[in-house]
Structure 1
Amino acid sequence: MTPNAASASSAPSRRSFLASTAVAATAVAGGMPLLTACVGSDSGSREGTTSGKAADKLLPTYVASTVAKPDLPSKNGSAAGYTGKVDLSALSTSVPDKLGTGAALKVMSPFWGSPPKPGCAYYTALDAVAGTKITWQNQNGNTYGEKLGAVLASSSIPDMVVVPNWELVGKISNAVTAKFMDLGPYLAGDKVKKYPNLAAIPSDAWRMGIFGGALRGIPMPSATANFIVPYYRKDIFDKKGYSVPKSADEFLSWAKEATSAKAKVYACGDMSWVSASIFGVRPSGTLGWNIGADGKLTYRIEQPEYLEALEWTRKLFDAGVVHPDDKARSGDAGQRFTAGQILVFNNDISHWYGKTAEQAQSNPDFEIDGMDIFGADGGDPTPYASQPATIWSMIRKGASKTTVENALAAANFSAAPYGTKERMLVDYGVEGTHYTVKDGVPVKTDQGNIEVINAWVMLAAPAAYYAHPDFPDIARKQVEWQQRMGAFMKKTSTYGMNIVEPTRYANLSSQFEQLEIDYVRGNKKLSDVQAAISTWKSSGGDKLRDWYKQLLDKNGSGN
């Protein structure tokens, strides 16, 4: 029951894309995952990972939800899809008893857009039904890491904190283990059955919530075929008679034909986010490590394809087919796309629905579609699986039993499955206040667009799905695209492992994001990138490789 608030800004920052997708992010509300390596109890080292049988002992018992059978079941790592209307008068109840006691609960979460006012009708309604009393400490999502780092370094931590994986860098990774509590006593094994919606979260997602040898994170599950989509203006392609490119060379050739600087129409924005999947470059971060067929362990920047992807992206800039504002990294590429100033736009899969809903009234001819990712040579692509959970809510150490149980009550409510009264309330708010029903479809009011945006949905989520009652065909397209691309998906050796690297390597790869930006725009030379790779190896990359090798020797490969 995806909210149809086109104006709700929930797109993650660039860092989230670089951290959590096969290109280099999840949508914020999308939807990560085997023996104990260097990690044991809180008193031991906080580095490494916990997996296999050791992790299985920590996990909640999985009890699948039977509330609503999807029209399109998950396949090849895709989300599930619901393509019909829900009978709003016959919604099921997934939380029959109010689990919260009304005790005060402070929650800190990233927020994209303008947060609702405290005590607004949406927050009040959710608290009343869930039995909670939440004070939201919403923080700017684009600078959330700075706030999160400062809070974790302080002695005053909110009762519950949302932690995205793209912020797990430097000291924050270790602070997670030091500052958040083990939820095992409340959720491990059959204990989770007190919270049926949390029990219905897939085990792979829960496995990613293990930090420092304990279950600390309540996950927001995501599809593992969660790749950046190369969207194109299908309405303009059809009008112009363009064929969808099926290789890197075809794309460049088409881009030159489609670009008219005089008419201020350019083929595309920056293609960096999708070029990795085209050329088969592994994701950044811990997923970037993989043992090849030759038995050697390498990081993504050591792949020959890494430079090939950068060189192709640079060709697009050099050919003048990228919009000047994308080159200058100014303005909003999404707005340029809907205005027809660029014909191809890269972003997470949530924009398929978002852009469609946004343009439905003002631009009825607008039609968006997603190109199938092609291999560089026109063959099969090599997209890499993202983790089955990339965002968690965590409860501070030292919290009282009452606080913990109220936090879990809130998370259980937020994780309500599609087709329930709870999901409807979380996603749409109160009928008559936040939405009205037109032809059986909920439509948000102005107040709904202001208040019912990325807050409660950050606490937990059901297994990944897409459902857009107002645009059901978009849900079908999203799922089918993921299923097609997922058929080619590969997993790296570190897939399914929530790995905390030693802090001494925290900034080892930090230079590459800016270097890539500069190189594809012609501001750096290929030799600069090659030199940075050599420096990375000598400055700790080779030692980090040894650390990963030891970890994989103990845990086994994730693929």
Structure 2
Amino acid sequence: MTPNAASRSGGSSGPSRRSFLASTAVATAAVAGGLPLLSACGGSDSGSGGGSSAGKGAKKLLPSYTAGGVVTPDIPAKNGSAAGFTAELDIAGLKTSVPEKLGKGGKVTVMSPFWGSPPGNDNAYYRAMNELTGVDVVWQNQDGNTYDQKLGAVLASSDVPDVVVVPGWNMGGKIPSAITGKFADLGPYLSGDKVERYPNLAAIPTDAWQRCIFGGKLRGLPMPSSYVTNIVPLYRKDIFDKEGYEVPRSAAEFMALAKDITNARAKRWACQDMKWTAFNTFGVLSGGEKPLGWNLVDGKLVYRVETDAYLEALEWTRKLFAAGVVHPDAMLGKSSATDPGPKFAAGEFLIYNQDISQWWSRSAEQATQNPAYKIWGMDIWGHDGGDPTIWATQPANIFAFISKKASESVIRDALAVADVTAAPYGTKEYMLTNYGVQGTHYTVKDGVPTKTKQGNIDVLNAFVMVASPAPTIAHPDFPDVTRAMVEWQQRMGAFTKKSTFYGQQITEPTRYTNLSNDFEQLEDDIVRGRKKVSDMQQAASDWKNKGGDKLRDWYQKLLDDNGSATS
């Protein structure tokens, strides 16, 4: 796509909740992933605190999967990757995935987080979508930055909109129990073969649906994600090629390369803070969501901070800082707070780790002003030079729920909307959902759709939040980048493992909510030399004594009662 047609990816440009949706759920091609190091758990003490979606009866709740056959991707999904589309978009040849208008003309109110200034409900995009779906959708868009406050207030009241969107990072406190109490069981409409009425919903991967089980019922509509890590070690391939630098294949090779690149007098450093990459290369369990940090090892559940790999990753990252190969901005803690793009483009550093969507967005923003510029992604290496062990992220992180008070006709209308918004790339429904009306909201040149000024006002994060298709990467203006992104996911997916509680919707009891809160800050202090690795060992010991061992027992009972989704 083009620089003003933002890429919809399931990752983020760092641990910023605003940047996640501002850059990901608003427009065109979807890559999926999760937020690095953002935890989405919390909740009540009642029962299993929300329990697990991997209960023994979970499979019968799930919609039967039927792969969509309307559009064939240029690069089929493999090993958990997105599907890829590299060819120019043929607007005249767009397919129809919803031949029959399923909506019956009812009114459906939707509350959703919104980043930016929401348009009025009577705009050309909303009118066109309502005409396509056959549903009068009325939006109650709320400020995404304070959405958790609004969400809590609404769910505590008796006045709940027909559809409410809940991002995973807002599922703290009493929200999970409210979801169980306030929202409808969609099983009678979607479980098993019932989903056949909605073929685009049927084509959503089963793992994503499993994340929609709350309180033993199928309650959510998902925004699917690739479970392959979304954090890529990105590098300046043009400078690597010019200087003859080799892409490293081990932690030791990376250190040697970093020292070779760095010349502080010339204002060039090797990299930014590489902690996220270190966690992947050393095989550290995911920190993206608390349940993913647990894994069954030799019959015992182990948490990520207890592992040698976790300490080794921190020590290696600390050595990078100590060697002076990390850009000074990162030492000051600016690497995630400011945009690294300009200094990366200027060659002040040659490697940084960020969301995979930046592979394309950096390429697009530099295409005209710096034609020689080429950003690429390094494969994740095993720290010792062998194959890496990479841990899966969650297969869905944003959900839409339908009120328990909604009538059957309202539920059917909401599902009609979802079946349209879940249409795959290359269909008329996808283009209207993601781009709006041709000529008004976007134009097409050389097979590349580009948002107009009005498109960037009207066609933002609204309808895409109701439900989305399986993850897709489609940038026809950069077909080589598209192919490289998908194939990177496929290669890394071959080394990706699913930890014990992968794919489950788990809410920890309230008494454990803050137990792990201080680890991320301590990580950053250690890698910058302000604290020692031994301080983390002490923190892990304190964690165990303050409730970590009891939390382990709680997870063990959950595992005993429900089993693992990966078994």
Q: Tell me if TM exceeds 0.5.
A: yes
Unaligned runs of 5+ in 1: 21-25, 34-42
Q: Could you tell me which amino acid in structure 2 is paired with residue 535 of structure 1?
A: D
Normalised by the length of structure 1, the TM-score is 0.89
Q: Does 1:31 align with 2:29?
A: no
Contact map agreement 1:4 1:470 (CA 8 A) in 2? no
> Cα offset for 1:233?
1.2
Partner of 1:62: 65
Instruction: Please list the CA deviations of residues 347-366 of structure 1 after superposition, one character each: whole Å capped at 9, or x if unmatched.
Output: 12222222222222222222
In the alignment, is residue 413 of structure 1 matched against residue 420 of structure 2?
Answer: yes
* CA drift at 1:372: 0.4
Q: Is the 8 A contact 1:162 1:393 kept in 2?
A: yes
Opposite residue 352 of structure 2, the aligned amino acid is F
Match runs of 1:475-554 below 5 Å: 475-554=482-561
Matches within 5 A, 1:428-443: 428-443=435-450
Q: Within 2, Cα distance between the matches of 1:338 and 1:467?
A: 24
Q: Distance in 2 between matches of 1:129 and 1:199?
A: 19
Identity of aligned residues (%): 60
Q: CA deviation at 1:499?
A: 1.8
**SS in structure 1 of the partner of residue 137 of structure 2:** strand
Task: Name the CA distance, whole Å, in 1 between partners of 2:277 and 2:146.
Answer: 24
The reply to whether residue 90 of structure 1 matches residue 97 of structure 2 is no
CA spacing shift, 1:482–1:119, aligned 2, 3 Å: same
TM-score, length of structure 2 as denominator length? 0.88
Rounded Cα–Cα distance in structure 1 between residues aligned with 2:90 and 2:5? 23
C-alpha contact (below 8 Å) 2:108/2:413 kept by paired residues: yes
Per-residue deviation at 1:14? 4.4
Paired residue type of 2:12: P
SS in 1 for 2:57: helix
Instruction: Give the unaligned 5+ runs of structure 2.
Output: 35-45
Matched, 1:365 2:365: no
> Residue 110 of structure 2 aligns to a residue in which SS?
strand
Match of 1:312 among 307, 312, 316: 316
State the alpha-carbon separation in 1 of the partners of residues 391 and 462 from structure 2.
29
Q: CA deviation digits over 1:422-462, x for unaligned, max 9?
A: 01112222111222221233233233334333332222111
Displacement of 1:227 in angstroms is 3.2
Of 279, 284, 292, 1:287 maps to 292
Is 1:132 aligned with 2:135? yes
Q: Does 1:460 align with 2:460?
A: no
| Contact persistence 2:31–2:225 (CA under 8 A) | yes
Give me the whole-angstrom Cα distance separating, in 2, the residues matched to 1:116 and 1:296. 52
Q: Residue 185 of structure 1 aligns to a residue in which SS? A: helix
Match of 1:399 among 387, 393, 406: 406
Change (3 A) 1:515 1:112: farther
The secondary structure found in structure 2 opposite 1:30 is: strand
- Mean Cα deviation higher: 81-90 or 150-159: 150-159
Structure 1 Cα separation of the partners of residues 120 and 266 of structure 2: 44
For the residues of structure 1 that align with 2:55 and 2:341, how far apart are their CA atoms? 42
What is the aligned partner in structure 1 of residue 37 from structure 2? none
Change (3 A) 1:541 1:239: same
| 1:194-273 alignment runs, 5 A limit | 194-273=197-276
**Which residue of 1 is the match for residue 38 of structure 2?**
none
Q: Report 1:158-177 matches (<5 A).
A: 158-177=161-180
In the TM superposition, residue 545 of structure 1 has moved relative to its aligned partner by 0.6
Q: Secondary structure at the match of 1:57?
A: helix
Asked if 1 retains the 8 angstrom alpha-carbon contact of 2:31 and 2:82, the reply is no
Tell me the amino acid that sits aligned with residue 75 of structure 1. Answer: K
RMSD: 2.7
- The residue that corresponds to 1:301 in the other structure is 305
> Between Structure 1 and Structure 2, how many residues are aligned?
541
Q: Which residue of the partner structure matches residue 481 of structure 2?
A: 474
Aligned counterpart, 1:321: 325
Amino acid at match of 1:358: E
3-state DSSP class of the match of 2:273? coil
1-side partners of 2:424 and 2:185: how far apart? 25
Distance 1:56 1:268, change over 3 A: same
CA deviations 1:289-334 (Å, max 9, x no partner) are 1111x32211111111111111112222222322222333242123
Q: 1:515 Cα deviation (Å)?
A: 1.9
Q: Is the 8 A contact 2:55 2:216 kept in 1?
A: no
Please name the residue that 2:12 is paired with. Answer: 12
Residues 431-440 or 320-329, more deviating: 320-329
How far residue 64 of structure 1 moved from its aligned partner, in angstroms, is 2.1
- Counterpart of 1:40? none
Deviation at 1:145, TM superposition (A): 3.6
Q: Is the 8 A contact 1:9 1:113 kept in 2?
A: no
SS of the residue corresponding to residue 496 of structure 2 reads coil
Partner Cα distance (2:472, 2:166) in 1: 21
Give secondary structure in 1 for the equivalent of 2:165: strand
**Quick one: distance in 2 between partners of 1:279 and 1:415?**
36
CA distance in 2, matches of 1:429, 1:78: 27
SS in 2 for 1:443: strand
Question: What amino acid maps onto 2:473 in structure 1?
Answer: Y
Alignment of 1:41-120 (within 5 A): 46-51=49-54, 53-120=56-123
SS of 1:96's partner is coil
**1:264 and 1:197, CA in 2 relative to 1: closer, same or farther beyond 3 A?**
same
Flag the 1:195–1:546 CA change in 2: closer, same or farther, 3 A. same
Q: In structure 2, what is the Cα distance between the partners aligned to 1:321 and 1:338?
A: 18
Partner of residue 348 from structure 1, selected from 347, 355, 380: 355
Which of 434, 437, 453 is matched with 1:427 structurally? 434
Displacement after TM superposition at 1:472 (Å) = 1.8
Q: Secondary structure of 2:112's partner?
A: strand
Shift in alpha-carbon separation, 1:96–1:283, aligned structure 2, 3 A = same
Q: Distance in 2 between matches of 1:467 and 1:214?
A: 34
The answer on whether the counterparts of 1:12 and 1:142 sit within 8 Å (CA) in structure 2 is: no
Residues 3 and 428 in structure 1, CA contact (< 8 A), matched pair in contact too: no
